[in-house]
Structure 1
Amino acid sequence: MDNGKWFCSKCRESRVRQLEEKLEAALLQIQELKELNASLEEKLRAATVGDAAQPIVQAPTARKPILVIGDSIVRHVGNVNKHMDVVCLPGIRTEQLRRYVENRDLGTPDTVIIHVGTNDLRRRNPDFVMGDMGDLVMKAQEKFPKAKIYISGILRCRGIPWRRVDVVNRMYEWVAQRRNVFFVDPNSWLQDGDFGRDGLHLNRSGFTKLGGLFSRIGGPKLPATGS
């Protein structure tokens, strides 16, 4: 019975098959749309952060003592320190940043702070992420032989288990020790309220605190903004 109409068993079986075929076709269409969307996202990402990618914030030609370079987390950290150049490359991965450092003239800063890794961690094994960071640090040492170099640890954020972030940060600290550079973990400097609604990016409080941390380790120093 369907809307007051009676169907024999043969008709019901036929109707079920029709519905199953429609469902299978719909699922197939959904899968095709997902694959198309993934392909478009990859093309957009490549166009945005490929070898020819341009930073959101271009490093000025005038020399400044601190250079911060990394993904979208560092976008506004230079607002708190006039002595800081910031090169922000949203979505960039560690291997791409190594090529960027290799192929760009970024001046001769006294301190270089590298913040990258979250985008790698979403899709790669931590061992590979650590290897890429080691290669990036070696390139930075080659590019800035007189600079003090810092690895800034990955921030705990929505979508990535904290334990996974902590494991990679311990790996980064090991890389820093092996390469004779420095490691700083910003997670002890920031709180949940320093992130925006997406749980991924910093709000005004967050980037002010992170910028204060980078100023503290790179100097000239500003008054502490968090702990």
Structure 2
Amino acid sequence: MFSLCDPCRISQSVVPKQSLRACSASGDHLLNENALDEQIQKLLSRRRYLRDLKARLLDKPSSPSVISVTSTPRCAAQVTFTPAPRRSNTDDDLGVFQQCRRGFKARTPPSAQASIVTQNRFDPLSVPSSPSAPGDVIVVGDSIVRNLNITCPNRKSFVSCFPGARVRDVTRRAPAIYKNRAVGAIVLHAGVNDIRHRQSEILKADFTALIKDTKERTPSAKIFISGPLPLVRRSNEYYSRLLGLNNWLQGFCKNQDIGFINNWDLFWERPRFFKRDGLHPNSFGARVLSENISKVIRLS
């Protein structure tokens, strides 16, 4: 056992403390050196990265993503003046200038204004005005046209028949029908009652007089001649004269520059279109004849 005042005991207790302090100091020094080494390594790696980046940028100067920046030394500001181009004193060059007195401002000539075209955009929807008097399409003839019903868009029709009338009768009585009327088209149907008189040349002269009189009285109207129908249960002579009249009327209308309505082929060998007398069309035949006349007028 040692006493508390033994010097050997005191020395033994002091030495370990000093050694511990020295160890702790040396450990702190090692830690600081390691941290410094890590920072140096980071800086070196950063430097290498920047060198590589610089080398890549220098190797690719034409890349659109690379922007070259050049610095210029500071120097005193320089002002450069560009002289205005000289103008010749020709009339063409001075044409855009105006001379004015002192105290007055130059007035620019008024610009040309574009012409404005005005129109009603609802014109296509407007309904055309109907004529003041009925009878845009007038049909005049013998009893064959009694039950006709002419249908033309935006036009009125008027049918007037004279039973037993010959071509001369139509020439005499037709002017009273289309007098004081706004006539657009006139359809003339006659000649069947002239066949039995066996006067072909006179019949042709009567048709010529009829067309001449109609043109003089209605110069703005379209004129049509409705051809004869091939009658049923008639003699060969009667039939031959009707066919000859139909053929002559075709050429006559062409020479007179008027319309011809051919009904012959439409009624040929169709007795169901006629009444019992074989002369006048029945209700169905009247509809067929009306539609044929209306179609020719619409297409004219």
* Matched positions, count: 161
Report which stretch shifted further, 106-115 or 131-140.
106-115
1:192-221 per-position Cα deviation (integer Å, ceiling 9, x unaligned)? 210011101110110001111111112399
> Aligned partners of 1:183 and 1:125: how far apart in 2?
22
Could you tell me how far apart the structure 2 residues matched to 1:93 and 1:108 are? 26
Question: Is 2:229 the counterpart of 1:155?
Answer: yes
Q: Distance between the aligned counterparts of 2:148 and 2:177, measured in 1?
A: 21
Query: TM-score normalized by structure 2?
Result: 0.50
Which of the pair is proportionally richer in helix? 1
Q: TM-score, normalised by structure 1?
A: 0.65
- The 1:220/1:65 distance shift into structure 2, 3 A limit, reads farther
Q: Which of 144, 150, 170 matches 1:73?
A: 144
Please state if 1:216 is matched with 2:287.
no
SS for the counterpart of 1:85 is: strand
Report 1 or 2 for greater relative contact order, CA contacts < 8 Å, sequence distance ≥ 6.
1
Given residue 276 of structure 2, which amino acid in structure 1 is its aligned partner? R
Query: Any gaps of 5 or more consecutive residues in structure 2?
Result: 1-131
CA 1:182–1:155: 2 relative to 1, 3 Å: same
- Label 1:94 to 1:109 Cα distance change in 2 as closer, same or farther (>3 A): same
Deviates more, 1:149-158 or 1:160-169: 160-169
Equivalent position amino acid for 2:134 in 1: R
Q: Which amino acid in the other structure matches residue 133 of structure 2?
A: A
**Secondary structure of 2:188's aligned partner:** strand
Q: Secondary structure at the match of 1:112?
A: strand
Tell me the residue number matched to 2:257.
180
Moved segments of 4+, more than 3 Å: 79-82, 102-106
* Deviation for aligned residue 1:103: 4.5
Whether the 8 Å CA contact 1:130–1:175 is kept in 2: the answer is: no
Seen in structure 2, the aligned counterparts of structure 1 residues 207 and 80 have a Cα distance that, compared at 3 Å, is farther
1:114 match: secondary structure? strand
Amino acid of the residue matched to residue 277 of structure 2?
Answer: D
- Tell me which structure has the larger Cα radius of gyration: 2
Which amino acid is 2:296 matched to? I
Report the AA paired with residue 121 of structure 1.
I
Give the % identical residues: 27
CA distance, structure 1, for counterparts of residue 286 and residue 195 of structure 2:
21
Tell me how large the CA RMSD over aligned residues is: 2.2
